[in-house]
């Protein structure tokens, strides 16, 4: 168990790291961040920040020496960086990154646990893309196997003509068949160092242009009917990885049951509502888990929850939302405003 006053290192410096650090401070810990990628908003609430490159071995060693435990706030942290942290003091284990960073490996891993992802095919050449479209049909989605988020690194394929005309990027790819679904939802869990798992209620997630727009609870009958099966798979994923911390698995709710979409080995945008809407937020429970503390209650404490992302220039007028007494604003403090960039979020609670 990490003692009061201990230091938690966070790989990454975005809003997720910022919110984790705020929870860590509340629990009596210090945080430092390792964040090479500009606009480091976590630095506002961390005692120190390293802005060195991900492959700067001397800086990584200096960072690790200042930390009692280390975690990360986004899944594209290089594997070599995570492995460079002292063994037994980084949570989750880097094996979670290895699994999640390659969409092909991720789907095969989930299939091995009995999960059902969308039909898929590996694509490494134009010929393989045409074969995948012929076999799985169109429409479908072509994705880079690595990196990519919020709709980036994805191309919608409406027909074999689209596939033939597309100039493939120089990167490993995967083609996914189209899934007819009634809703999208997340299963967010926390697993402690002792193997205990707790789940938050699942929200229905609404996306616009590949970016999460809103998370809503109650999620509706279709999602509710499929949560138990989805939780079973998510729990098996966590156990198989010997995971410690918050893990997110995203699903499509379909007439065939829950279809696995992808996993995020970290706190997640669709769980931001837990700050005000649950007994213990995903951020606090992540810190509790990596610090070896008992997990907190994950029960929802409101009759209804609506979380909406604030994108781009919308942040300028966001204070007006506070005229509603049940609304809670989170401004991430980002200096550069860009269209589609997540600048904050708003949570509105419905009281019982």
Q: Is 210 annotated as a binding residue?
A: no
Calculate the alpha carbon distances from 247 to 3, 151, 285, 289 in Å. Answer: 24, 20, 11, 11
Q: Is 101 annotated as a binding residue?
A: no
* Parallel/antiparallel/unpaired status of strands 183-191 and 211-217: unpaired
Q: Is 262 annotated as a binding residue?
A: yes
Residue 148 Rama label (left phi>0; alpha psi -120 to 50; beta): left
In degrees rounded to 5, what are phi and psi of residue 182? -95, -20
Q: Give the span between the Cα atoms of 88 and 274, in whole angstroms.
A: 28
Q: Is 292 annotated as a binding residue?
A: no
Q: Is 185 annotated as a binding residue?
A: no
Q: Is 143 annotated as a binding residue?
A: yes
In degrees rounded to 5, what are phi and psi of residue 227? -65, -40
24's tokens: 């860590």
State whether the Cα torsion 290-293-297-300 is positive or negative: negative
Q: H/E element holding 285?
A: helix 282-291
* Parallel/antiparallel/unpaired status of strands 48-50 and 30-34: parallel
With beta carbons less than 8 A apart as the criterion, state whether 52 and 36 touch: yes
**Helices 15-26/282-291 angle, 10° precision:** 70
* Parallel/antiparallel/unpaired status of strands 304-311 and 342-350: antiparallel
Q: Is 339 annotated as a binding residue?
A: no
Q: Is 154 annotated as a binding residue?
A: yes
Q: Is 149 annotated as a binding residue?
A: yes
Q: Is 116 annotated as a binding residue?
A: no
Q: Is 226 annotated as a binding residue?
A: no
Going by C-alpha positions, the residue among 121, 146, 149, 227 that lies closest to residue 184 is 227
Q: Is 148 annotated as a binding residue?
A: yes
Which residues fall in the annotated binding site?
A: 103, 143, 148-154, 176-179, 184, 207, 261-262
Which residues fall in the annotated binding site for ATP?
A: 103, 143, 148-154, 176-179, 184, 207, 261-262
């Amino acid at each position: 168990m990490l003692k009061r006053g201990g230091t938690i290192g966070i790989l990454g410096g975005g809003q997720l790291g910022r919110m984790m650090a705020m929870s860590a401070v509340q629990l009596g810990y210090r945080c430092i961040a390792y964040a090479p990628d500009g606009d480091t908003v976590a630095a506002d609430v961390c005692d120190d920040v390293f802005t060195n490159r991900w492959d700067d071995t001397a800086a990584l060693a200096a960072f690790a020496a200042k930390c009692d435990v280390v975690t990360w706030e986004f899944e594209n942290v290089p594997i070599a960086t995570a492995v460079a942290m002292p063994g037994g003091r980084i949570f989750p284990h880097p094996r979670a990154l290895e699994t999640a960073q390659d969409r092909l490996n991720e789907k095969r891993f989930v299939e091995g646990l009995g999960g059902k992802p969308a039909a898929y095919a590996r694509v490494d050449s134009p010929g393989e893309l045409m074969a995948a479209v012929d076999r799985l049909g169109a429409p479908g989605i072509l994705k880079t196997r690595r990196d990519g988020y919020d709709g980036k690194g994805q191309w919608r394929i409406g027909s074999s003509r689209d596939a033939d005309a597309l100039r493939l990027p120089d990167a490993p790819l995967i083609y996914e068949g189209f899934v007819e679904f009634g809703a999208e939802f997340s299963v967010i869990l926390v697993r402690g160092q002792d193997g205990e798992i707790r789940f938050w209620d699942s929200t229905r997630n609404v996306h616009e242009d590949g970016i999460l727009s809103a998370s809503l609870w109650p999620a509706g009958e279709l999602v509710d009917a499929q949560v138990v099966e989805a939780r079973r798979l998510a729990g098996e994923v966590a156990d198989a990885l010997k995971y410690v911390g918050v893990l997110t698995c995203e699903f499509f709710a379909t007439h065939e049951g829950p279809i696995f979409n992808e996993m995020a080995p970290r706190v997640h945008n669709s769980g931001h509502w837990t700050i005000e809407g649950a007994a213990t937020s995903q951020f606090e429970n992540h810190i509790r888990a990596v610090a070896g503390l008992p997990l907190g209650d994950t029960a929802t404490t409101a009759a209804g929850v609506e979380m909406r992302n604030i994108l781009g220039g919308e942040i300028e007028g966001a204070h007006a939302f506070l005229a509603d007494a049940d609304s809670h604003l989170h401004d991430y403090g980002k200096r550069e405003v860009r269209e589609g960039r997540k600048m904050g979020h708003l949570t509105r609670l419905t009281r019982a």
